[in-house]
Homo-oligomer: A and B are copies of this chain.
Amino acid sequence: MADDVAEKEFNPAYWSWGQDATAPRSLFTMIRTLDPEASIRFYTEGFGMKVLERHDFESARFSLIFLGFDGYGSGAIELTYNWDQTEPYTHGSGFGHLGMGVPDVHAAVAKLEALGAKVPTRPKQMVAGAPFMAFVQDPDGYRIELIQTNRNS
């Protein structure tokens, strides 16, 4: 670290993503949410993700919530919740979706639909011999591609 003062004030609470890494890695994908409790329920109950960290910034009126399967480094999600936001966030044409592997796409869609998810693409195979896939939408409308990762489900 270049700044000696900051080094002296080292606070491990801020170093969740690593202190001794020797190479770059992916940490998370950040998306904004209007309703963090709905998003947390969708990703924890729907996929089995865990809340890794949650930080609520009272004076700046926003929260950051990190969701992951196994800590960082395995495709975590950062939810940003701006407390005063009322308009739904818009989806441009650039960002597409999050890809999630699930053992059984039919079962995953049934579970997510029971949690209220829209299912714009029902389970299908793009070509014969390929895994089943589907698209669902999270509570803010982000698209999630589900790809079957078990041949015997």
Point out residues on A near B: beta carbons under 8 Å.
1-3, 5-7, 9-11, 14-15, 17-32, 47-49, 68-69, 72-78, 80, 89-103, 106, 108, 125-132, 140-142, 145, 147-153
Contacts and interface: CB of A to CB of B under 8 A. Distances in A.
A66 to B, nearest CB: 9
Nearest to A19: B151
A39 B49 CA distance: 30
Contacts of A148: 1
The 8 closest A-B pairs by CB, nearest first: A26-B75, A18-B149, A11-B129, A89-B94, A92-B92, A30-B96, A14-B130, A21-B149
A11 B27 CA distance: 31
A73 B71 CA distance: 12
A20 B151 contact: yes
A17 B147 contact: yes
